[in-house]
Amino acid sequence: MLEPDRLPADVQQPAYDRRSLTTRMVHIGFGAFHRAHQALAADRLAAQGSDWGYCEVNLNSGALISALRQQDHLYTLTEMADDHLQTRVIGVITQALHARSDGSAAVTEAMCQPDVAIVSLTVTEKGYCALPSSGQLDWDHPDIVHDLAHPQTPRSLPGLILAAIARRRERQLPPFSVMSCDNMPENGQVTRNVVTQLAQRSNPALAEYIQTHLTFPSTMVDRIVPAMTDEAFTRLAARLGSHDPVAVEAEPFFQWVIEDNFVKGRPAWENAGAELVSDVLPFEEMKLRMLNGSHSFLAYLGYLAGYTHISDCMADAHFRAAARRLMLQDQAPTLRIQGVDRVAYADALLARYQNRAIQHRIAQIAMDGTQKLPQRLLDSVRWHLRNGTPCDFLLLGVAGWMRFISGVDEQGAPITVRDPLSAQLAGIVANSEDGAQRVAALLRLQTVFGDDLRYHTAFVSRLTELYQQLRTAGARATVQALVTEGSGGCTNV
């Protein structure tokens, strides 16, 4: 366990009185990203005199919550670049709960503490129980089916939030704001949709109350936070003199854009490096398409090529050039943001990707592709189809995903596909011939591709061609050929 009294002198520890903190925020999803991002912002503010503390909640894994409790709710964050690193102890957590072991009632009660003003979320796209292609609630999701039948003991994220809203209303407590920090376009609207739709089905009066009294601000978050490995834990323990199972590492870069729409106040996030705006969507689109889209492109194709980390892909000149052209040729024209130098933004992303101190594993990025493809690649594909412009790098990214989820790499070794729809994907793969038939079968997956793309002849033809090229030539040769020969058509014919 972490031993603060034994930490080296160069480790920054909380200089504020932790006893002065009040639980004003409940955060659901105590994952690595939150620990390196939103919690850091709160820690920076606490050092300036803020009393906004966090109650942390995990819905699934209880190990982190248990370890956090044993460490008096403390953990370390290390910022790493090629030429330096800096570790600090984060001390803004006041409570920690695990929904399964502590019970959903305890989580609901945590959100009903009178001082709670914000419930924030980092549960990944799949945690919202929404259909990836539309952002609407998935009524067939087993947790939603359970919550409709048992609203007092909810399992899903929407069910838990709805139970807390209902209980606060019954107790005449003021409403809170629900703030998503996940990588989805209009993440606040998606959150509002799933919570309100569940309420409309179970309690229409409560749905009306939500629409009138609660806010669901959108956010855009950006920081590269790789999953911790055994090697990383061992390296950190040697530096700290004790083992911190809750530790997290991140790049120095930090960005947070927040829609300033809160019903019961908020921390002064602007004093911690955040930007408060009236419309987050243009920022979300830019980040989702240029950063997250290029990450997915590199993850699927890089995995097939035998690379392990994003920085490995950056050492390949053709992969680096392909990522840049994906961003500037295929993604940048689809963006609505104004006043941003898109070339400079793309080049800054590539520079961040080359940080070898951050071992950002491709397999981590490749997870949950069915939840990520619509907003990272397919929304941009549709833009190009409407405008009759080429988008070969986008299509190669989609083809790379299709090859990846086929479950066998270019050396014939099995690929472990981690995805909420993994069983359905395996069934499609098992019942389709590898090639054009496989592409057609996957395009019929409506939750990912909707009802339109499989009917666009030019799109299907070019996607199939690139898929076949990956099969016969391999990822490296296909990427090199596309970079060398130029981009062809995904045109609206």
Which of 184-205 are b and which e, b meaning 16 or more Cβ less than 10 Å from the residue's Cβ?
bbbbbebbbbbbbbbbeebbee
Pairwise CA distance, residues 87 & 84, whole Å: 10
Report whether pLDDT(107) > 80: yes
pLDDT digits (tens, 9 = 90+) for 299-341: 999 999 999 999 999 999 999 999 999 999 999 999 999 999 9
pLDDT digits (tens, 9 = 90+) for 404-416: 999 999 988 999 9
What fold does the segment set 4-277 form as a domain?
Answer: Rossmann fold (3.40.50)
pLDDT at 133: 79
- E-strand stretches of 29-142: 52-58, 75-81, 84-90, 93-98, 118-121
Backbone φ and ψ of 23, nearest 5°? -75, 100
The pTM score is 0.88
Maximum CA pair distance of the chain?
A: 68
- Residue 461, Cβ density class (10 Å: 0-12 exposed, 13-18 middle, ≥19 buried): middle
Rg of the chain over CA atoms, in angstroms? 23
Contacts of 19 (CB under 8 A, 6+ apart): none
| Bridge partners of residue 250, in order along the sequence | 79
pLDDT at 361: 93
Domain with CATH 3.40.50.720 in the chain: 4-277
At 121, list the tokens.
Answer: 């979320």
Percent share of the chain, pLDDT over 90? 92
pLDDT digits (tens, 9 = 90+) for 472-488: 999 999 999 999 986 55
Report whether pLDDT(491) > 90: no
Pairwise CA distance, residues 402 & 436, whole Å: 11
DSSP state of 9: T
Asked whether the beta carbons of 281 and 186 are under 8 A apart, the reply is yes
What fold does the segment set 282-485 form as a domain?
Answer: N-(1-d-carboxylethyl)-l-norvaline Dehydrogenase; domain 2 (1.10.1040)
Pairwise CA distance, residues 289 & 297, whole Å: 11
Average pLDDT, the chain: 95
At 66, list the tokens.
Answer: 């248990």
Contacts of 158 (CB under 8 A, 6+ apart): 128, 129, 137, 144, 147, 194, 195, 198
Domain with CATH 1.10.1040.10 in the chain: 282-485
Where do the H-state alpha helices sit in 336-435? 342-353, 362-365, 369-373, 379-387, 392-404, 422-430
DSSP letters spanning 206-217: HHHHHHHH-B--
pLDDT digits (tens, 9 = 90+) for 35-57: 999 999 999 999 999 999 999 99
Q: Is 194 helix (H, G, I), strand (E, B) or coil?
A: helix
pLDDT band of residue 82 (cuts 50, 70, 90) is confident
pLDDT digits (tens, 9 = 90+) for 417-476: 999 999 999 999 999 999 999 999 999 999 999 999 999 999 999 999 999 999 999 999
At 413, list the tokens.
Answer: 């070794």
**Which residue is it, tokens 């990214």?**
397
Asked whether the beta carbons of 54 and 93 are under 8 A apart, the reply is yes
What is the DSSP pairing of strand 84-90 with strand 75-81?
antiparallel
CB atoms inside a 10 Å sphere around CB 451: 9
Pairwise CA distance, residues 446 & 241, whole Å: 52
At 43, list the tokens.
Answer: 């820690």
pLDDT at 335: 97
Contacts of 464 (CB under 8 A, 6+ apart): 435, 436, 439, 440
